[in-house]
A and B are shown apart, each in its own frame.
Chain A
């Protein structure tokens, strides 16, 4: 069970191909597997379907794979921060499937948990429900949504061990735990690779069974999209 790989290139070796579906964790630029995304960029894999809540910003995260035109389709809930995305979408180069954010999160959770479909109130009576089964339970209507899995899931964690146990930090957790469970192969980049046993079993967020490969990416550059401050208090 050798999960630790010493470089991003090794972590991605032998598993990428054109036309694959890739899940990429993060919310905005928070908790994105940035080093692994750059590894995908260098691999040259094309025609990718990428499942990610957002699409990065120009030059950062998935924005880099848009710039190289490696992405054919995005499944996301919000892509407002990316000019290149708008251009490629409007020119028809890029396909886009919008999911309500909670529906997207649950589709991924369901996929990882072996649940092929579920019913939700979200989106009933909207464009999202078109072409989908709608069924009444009690007094309300619910729309059927299907589970999602990926060929490869890329996640970012704060801490990990050789077993693949992961701990996320603050709001950088977001989509990472569900995506870790929904990848046929899941690769985790971790800021701190700690000895097995150093993480209290009670504090593990993602158990190692969901993680196939792990790579140490120390001191990553983290990006802030909206640096919003409180004025210093005047005494």
Chain B
């Protein structure tokens, strides 16, 4: 059985560390906030200009001036701060954010990432994705292993890139891969989802990877 969206988010949450400043993308990455381990202190950054993002508001407490980068209503926490978009991307570009968890359409074995544009289709824009992958210290991708039967882990991305050699870790519904951002491409399968076979991963992956399955750590 492959991992569900919730299980992928829970696995991504294992990448959090105490004291981290973290930016979560839209979709499955947003769900990671539900799996922050109890007692772990992390600060969520929202690139439209907030650190210390709180949970969604209760009915009647929503405020049009308080939204996240997905334009969803949110709340403050005692530690929250607000700032301009220039300061926000200064944090991102300046390497002050520890971890970015985001979705992708394709990832190549060398860490290239594509998630903003399909030629010939209406393009909505890259928003902050290019800044995040270029500037954040560690980039974790959470995505389905395939899209409509097409491999998404490729030798080379066929879609226009969001960033070159930017992915450190990819979590799919089938397993977890590490990647190298410098030197030779080096994609390694380190975990398999429960019940998923190596044969299935090989069959659904175009990228070249080696296998070094780690001891399963139960959290």
Contact = CB atoms under 8 A, between A and B. Distances in A.
B84 A98 contact: no
Contacts of A175: 84-85
A124 B161 CA distance: 9
Contact of A102 (B57, B64, B66, B92): B92
Contacts of B27: none
B203 interface: no
Q: Is the interface of B mostly helix, strand, loop or mixed?
A: loop
7 contacts: A27-B69, A30-B48, A31-B65, A101-B85, A102-B128, A178-B85, A224-B64
Nearest to A30: B67
Given A105-B84, A174-B48, A224-B62, 12 more contacts: A27-B49, A29-B71, A30-B65, A102-B135, A124-B134, A125-B164, A171-B49, A172-B64, A177-B86, A226-B72, A229-B58, A229-B62
A78 B124 contact: yes
B39 interface: no
Interface string B22-66: 000000000000000000000000111110000111110011111
B173 to A, nearest CB: 25
A229 B59 contact: yes
Interface in A94-113: 98, 100-106, 108-109
Contacts of B62: 224, 227, 229
Contacts of B129: 100
B106 interface: no
A230 B56 contact: yes
Contacts of B59: 229, 232
A126 interface: yes
Interface stretch (A1-9, A115-123, A195-203, A208-216): A115-123
B126 A226 contact: no
A169 interface: yes
B131 interface: yes
A78 B115 CA distance: 13
A45 B72 CA distance: 33
Interface string A86-100: 100110000000101
A177 B87 CA distance: 10
A230 B58 contact: yes
Contact of B73 (A77, A78, A228): A228
A123 B134 contact: yes
Nearest to A76: B125
A105 B49 CA distance: 11
Interface string A162-184: 00000011111111111000000
A80 interface: yes
Contacts of A101: 47, 85, 89, 126-128, 131
7 residue pairs, one from A and one from B, having the closest CB atoms: A102-B89, A125-B164, A80-B124, A102-B131, A222-B64, A78-B125, A100-B130
Given A169-B65, A225-B71, A79 B125 contact: yes
B84 to A, nearest CB: 5
Contacts of B131: 100-103, 122
Contact of B164 (A104, A126, A224): A126
B162 interface: yes
